[in-house]
């Protein structure tokens, strides 16, 4: 899949922008705060219906304007898809595909796919479990609508159950209603656990060989699902922990406490496997993160039978030249947008199909023009 063109109107610092794209690599070069990430955000938002920065619609509308428009023309296999996204300050956003309004976001998600890679992603191994759960959820929600539903419902139910646990402390008669919430929590929680289990196993299979290459065959990486509770035990354990939950006024067990482990196996005989989250060096942790991210691209390809659009926000400068090269080689047939604050970092990588643009104060023009 490729993006053929993008039109922006009053989106972030872009008043009006039209750009045509081709396959291969597009480099967006410019100083800080000129609008490079804003353009990637426009793509990510249009593809996934959320901002990767977690911004609200009103924050993405150009200052002092009431609405913003993003139009994209995408070619997927031999089809052309026209996507119109309309952000409004105090109303719900509108989205249309080939002129037909989409009522439920869920029906739209999955039509087009992208993978975004930012410097924060390189931190995923050293950050806390909440960040890693966010990563699983973001990926799985994009790939699996059933998961999207179970995950959303689980989170809603959890919030309501936690509120009820608080309310019961001064309204004990509400205790009777807890069973209903527990039933829902277990129903959606089990689905979440089962999907995460499958996803991490699948991702681990792809990550292993990528990591071996990236580490020069010195190490292999196995991803593990560090689950808080198994799907089959959830109902029973939730019942058992009820008194504790009532005392603590919060739900102590469930997939909202899950984590992923990153186990490194070295090629050296006799050396123990190590958990990169706890014992990995900074370099090892970053390589693990890069392996997982690259595996994600392959997994999206496999699941969608198509190539996603790849957005690399400021990551190349964060990688050493070996890893840069490996990343660039493995994405050579994917339409990729790369942002950078200087072209020096590309000197050692002569791209064949590559166009360079300069980004300055919300305007974009061909490099050198
Ligand atoms: N709603 C908005 N309306 C107008 N301008 C905005 C809005 N939101 C953000 N901006 C401007 O966009 C700028 C940031 O743009 P962006 O994040 O794309 O920078 P960048 O080119 O990626 O820079 P860096 O290299 O530092 O990452 C901010 O400095 C801000 O002035
Ligand atoms: Mg940026």
DSSP string, 288-330: HHHHHHHHHHHHHHHHHTSPPEEEEES-GGGS-HHHHHHHHHH
Distances from the Cα of 224 to the Cα of 201, 205, 275, angstroms: 7, 11, 10
Give the end of a domain, one of 281, 304, 327.
304
- For ligand 1, atom 17: residue with the closest CA: 37
* pTM of this structure: 0.93
Q: Nearest bound ligand to CA 56? A: 1
Say how many domains are in the chain. Answer: 2
Asked if 17 and 129 sit in the same domain, the reply is no
Residues 118-140 as b or e (16 or more Cβ within 10 Å = b): beebbebbbbeeeebbebbbebb
Give the end of a domain, one of 304, 319, 351.
304
Q: What is the CB neighbour count within 10 angstroms for residue 43?
A: 20
> Token digits for 110?
């999955």
Q: What is the CATH number of the domain that holds 320?
A: 3.40.50.300
pLDDT tens, residue order, the chain (369 aa): 999 999 999 999 999 999 999 999 999 999 999 999 999 999 999 999 999 999 999 999 999 999 999 999 999 999 999 999 999 999 999 999 999 999 998 899 999 999 999 988 989 999 999 999 999 999 999 899 999 999 999 999 999 999 999 999 999 999 999 999 999 999 999 999 999 999 999 999 999 999 999 988 999 999 999 999 999 999 999 999 999 999 999 999 999 999 999 999 987 878 889 999 999 999 899 999 999 999 999 999 999 999 999 999 998 888 888 888 888 888 888 999 999 998 876 655 655 568 999 999 999 999 977
Asked if 124 and 108 sit in the same domain, the reply is no
Q: What is the CATH number of the domain that holds 177?
A: 1.20.1050.90
Give the end of a domain, one of 288, 304, 320.
304
Q: What is the CB neighbour count within 10 angstroms for residue 301?
A: 16
Asked if 240 and 333 sit in the same domain, the reply is no
Q: Are 327 and 297 in contact (CB under 8 A)?
A: no
Which of 201, 320, 212, 220 has its CA nearest to residue 265?
A: 220
Q: How many Å apart are CA 24 and CA 217, to the nearest integer?
A: 29
Q: How many Å apart are CA 131 and CA 292, to the nearest integer?
A: 14
Asked if 310 and 300 sit in the same domain, the reply is no
Asked if 266 and 354 sit in the same domain, the reply is no
Asked if 247 and 310 sit in the same domain, the reply is no
- For ligand 1, atom 2: residue with the closest CA: 12
> Token digits for 276?
């990169």
Domain with 59 in it? 1-113+306-369
Place of tokens 């029906």: 107
Q: How many Å apart are CA 69 and CA 61, to the nearest integer?
A: 9
- For ligand 1, atom 14: residue with the closest CA: 33
Asked if 101 and 165 sit in the same domain, the reply is no
Which residues line the pocket of ligand 1, CB cutoff 6 A? 12-13, 30, 32-38, 59-63, 341
Of 27, 33, 364, which is best to mutate to test ligand 1, by the most ligand atoms within 8 angstroms of its C-beta?
33
Asked if 189 and 234 sit in the same domain, the reply is yes
Asked if 53 and 131 sit in the same domain, the reply is no
């Amino acid at each position: 899949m490729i993006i053929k063109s993008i039109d922006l109107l009053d989106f972030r610092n872009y008043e009006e922008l039209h750009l045509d794209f081709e396959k291969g690599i597009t480099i967006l070069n410019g100083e800080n705060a000129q609008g490079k990430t804003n353009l990637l955000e426009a793509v990510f938002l249009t593809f996934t219906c959320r901002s990767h920065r977690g911004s609200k619609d009103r924050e993405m509308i150009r200052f002092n304007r009431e609405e913003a428009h993003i139009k994209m023309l995408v070619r997927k296999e031999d089809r052309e898809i026209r996507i119109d996204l309309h952000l409004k300050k105090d109303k719900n956003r509108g989205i249309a595909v080939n002129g037909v309004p989409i009522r439920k976001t869920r029906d739209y998600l999955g039509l087009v796919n992208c993978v975004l890679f930012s410097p924060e992603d390189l931190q995923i191994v050293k950050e806390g479990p909440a960040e890693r759960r966010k990563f699983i959820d973001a990926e799985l929600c994009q790939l699996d609508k059933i998961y999207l539903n179970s995950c959303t419902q689980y989170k809603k139910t959890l919030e309501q159950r936690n509120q009820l646990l608080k309310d019961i402390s001064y309204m004990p008669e509400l205790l009777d209603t807890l069973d209903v919430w527990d039933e829902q929590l277990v129903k959606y929680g089990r689905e979440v656990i089962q999907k995460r289990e499958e996803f991490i196993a699948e991702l681990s299979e792809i990550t292993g060989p990528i990591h071996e290459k990236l580490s020069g065959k010195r190490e292999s990486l196995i991803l593990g699902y560090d689950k808080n509770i198994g799907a089959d035990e959830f109902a029973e354990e939730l019942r058992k922990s009820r008194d504790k939950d009532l005392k603590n006024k919060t739900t102590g067990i469930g997939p909202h406490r899950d984590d992923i482990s990153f186990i490194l196996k070295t090629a050296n005989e006799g050396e123990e496997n190590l958990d990169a989250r706890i014992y990995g060096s900074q370099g090892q942790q970053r390589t693990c993160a890069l392996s997982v991210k690259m595996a994600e691209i392959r997994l999206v390809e496999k699941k969608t039978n198509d190539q996603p659009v790849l957005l690399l926000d400021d990551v190349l400068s964060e990688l050493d030249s070996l890893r840069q090269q490996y990343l660039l080689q493995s994405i050579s047939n994917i339409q990729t947008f790369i942002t950078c604050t200087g072209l020096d970092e590309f000197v050692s990588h002569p791209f064949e199909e590559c166009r360079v643009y300069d980004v300055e104060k919300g305007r974009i023009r061909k490099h050198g023009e």
